[in-house]
């Protein structure tokens, strides 16, 4: 598969393959196209995704479906209050046959890890994922092990008000490229879920792979060719900086938030059949990329102000670069 990683994929082909993956996942996950696009954007951008919502709204199904459609090795780890860091990363065990200790890899050694209900375990175990998510490696008792690429974490979390949950540490939240919520389906979508289950005649839904791990890595590499004009880059920086100056915010988004906007906007451009980013791409990903990186002042929690509302105000108050005229490099844009 390594030769697939090195081959070049044009931006329009990345968009076509991405839409095919979304179509495949959409045969199982009903009526959540916009949320599914955000999840796929996080994977294509090389990051990790936090799916935060109430139980039973398709978070686990979404993770499993993307693993199948992307042809990735998949493991699911159920986070519980008694889970230990070694249960995530692995540990050294004594081998009686060899008379020595050998390393037994944990579930983090995979392509796509579903960290299910990550906020049901204490912060010490949550932080066991930090090194894996940021450095793509695991250190156990002084020995470092590299994780195979691609490596992505799709973590599900219940709302913090839900019983039996622990708040995710700020450093952990900042490692997630974006946070996505699904919400309840409408009546027609919920009936469609039941109708498909009846037609399937079994609980499990299988999806044929659309791409494989090597092709996914090539798609991720191709996004580096999506052009980001200086004015767009400065707009991204201005949006992130504005979250730090908002009167309702105690701690604003870090520069990692700016990077998330850049990477996700590139994916939105490709999904829009373009090889250059426009301000609308940035606006479309601003809330999922920035809201979870903001810490509100305590009095704002009493007023039930949501961080996404703050990002919305920042979008309204920060001037966007003019996008009426196509930039000079758009002559070779995707789809022409």
How many domains does the chain fold into? 2
Dig out the tokens for 301 from the structure.
């929690």
Assigned domain for 333 exists: no
134 Rama sector, left if φ>0, alpha if ψ -120 to 50, beta otherwise: alpha
- Counting residues of the chain whose pLDDT is more than 70, the rounded percentage is 92
* Rounded Cα–Cα distance for residues 18 and 32 (Å): 15
Averaged pLDDT, 245-259: 93
Is the peptide bond between 285 and the residue preceding it cis, with omega within 30 degrees of 0? no
* Rounded Cα–Cα distance for residues 52 and 49 (Å): 10
Compute the residue count for the chain.
336
* Rounded Cα–Cα distance for residues 231 and 329 (Å): 14
Dig out the tokens for 165 from the structure.
């949950």
Residues 154, 200: one domain? yes
Does residue 335 register a pLDDT over 90? no
Averaged pLDDT, 284-309: 88
pLDDT of amino acid 323? 55
Query: Tell me, what DSSP letter sits at residue 101?
Result: E
The closest alpha carbon to 289, from 167, 195, 176, 169, belongs to: 176
Task: Judge whether 332 and 326 are in contact, CB under 8 Å.
Answer: no
Assigned domain for 171 exists: yes
The closest alpha carbon to 256, from 133, 107, 92, belongs to: 133
Task: Judge whether 138 and 132 are in contact, CB under 8 Å.
Answer: yes
Task: Judge whether 21 and 69 are in contact, CB under 8 Å.
Answer: yes
In the three-class reduction of DSSP (H, G, I as helix; E, B as strand; rest coil), residue 92 is classed as strand
Residues 132, 164: one domain? yes
Q: Between helices 279-290 and 33-44, what is the axis angle to 10°? A: 90
Q: What are phi and psi of 124, to 5 degrees?
A: -60, -40
Q: What is the CATH number of the domain that holds 274?
A: 1.10.8.80
Q: What is the CATH number of the domain that holds 10?
A: 3.40.50.300
Residues 296, 190: one domain? no
Using one digit for the tens of pLDDT, what is the confidence trace for 90-139?
A: 988 877 777 788 888 899 999 999 999 888 888 888 878 888 998 899 98
How far is it between the farthest Cα atoms of the chain? 71
Residue range of the domain that includes 290: 226-320
Assigned domain for 38 exists: yes
Dig out the tokens for 127 from the structure.
């932080």
Using one digit for the tens of pLDDT, what is the confidence trace for 129-175?
A: 888 998 899 988 888 999 999 999 999 987 765 666 777 878 788 88
Dig out the tokens for 288 from the structure.
């999922």
Averaged pLDDT, 165-190: 86
The closest alpha carbon to 61, from 205, 209, 216, belongs to: 205
pLDDT of amino acid 336? 39
Residues 123, 7: one domain? yes
pLDDT of amino acid 224? 94
pLDDT of amino acid 111? 95
Q: What are phi and psi of 316, to 5 degrees?
A: -70, -35
């Amino acid at each position: 598969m390594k030769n697939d990683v090195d081959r070049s994929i044009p931006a329009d082909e990345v968009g076509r393959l991405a839409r095919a993956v979304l179509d495949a996942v959409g045969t199982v996950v009903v009526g959540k196209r916009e949320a599914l696009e955000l999840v796929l954007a996080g994977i294509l951008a090389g990051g990790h995704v936090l799916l935060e919502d109430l139980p039973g709204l398709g978070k686990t199904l979404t993770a499993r479906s993307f693993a199948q459609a992307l042809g990735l090795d998949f493991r699911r780890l159920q986070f519980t209050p008694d889970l230990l860091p070694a249960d995530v990363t692995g540990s050294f065990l004594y081998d009686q046959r060899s008379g020595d200790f050998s390393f037994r890899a944990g579930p983090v050694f995979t392509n796509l890890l579903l960290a299910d209900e990550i906020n049901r375990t204490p912060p010490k175990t949550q932080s066991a994922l930090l090194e894996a998510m940021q450095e793509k490696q695991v250190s156990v008792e002084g020995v470092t092990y590299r994780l195979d690429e691609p490596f992505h974490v799709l973590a599900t979390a219940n709302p913090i008000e839900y019983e039996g949950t622990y708040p995710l540490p700020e450093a952990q939240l900042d490692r997630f490229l974006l946070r996505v919520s699904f919400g309840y389906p409408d009546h027609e979508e919920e009936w469609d879920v039941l109708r498909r289950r009846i037609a399937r005649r079994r609980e499990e839904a299988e999806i044929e792979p659309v791409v494989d791990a090597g092709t996914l890595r090539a798609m991720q590499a191709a996004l580096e060719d999506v052009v980001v004009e200086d004015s767009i880059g400065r707009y991204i920086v201005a949006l992130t900086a504005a979250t730090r100056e908002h009167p309702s915010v105690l701690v604003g988004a870090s520069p990692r938030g700016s990077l998330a906007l850049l990477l996700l906007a590139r994916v939105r451009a490709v999904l829009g059949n373009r090889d250059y980013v426009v301000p609308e791409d940035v606006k479309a990903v601003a809330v999922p990329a920035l809201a979870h990186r903001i810490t509100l002042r305590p009095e704002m929690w009493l007023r039930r102000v949501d961080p996404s509302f703050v990002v919305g105000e920042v979008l309204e108050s920060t001037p966007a670069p003019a996008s009426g005229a196509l930039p000079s490099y758009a002559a070779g844009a995707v789809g022409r």
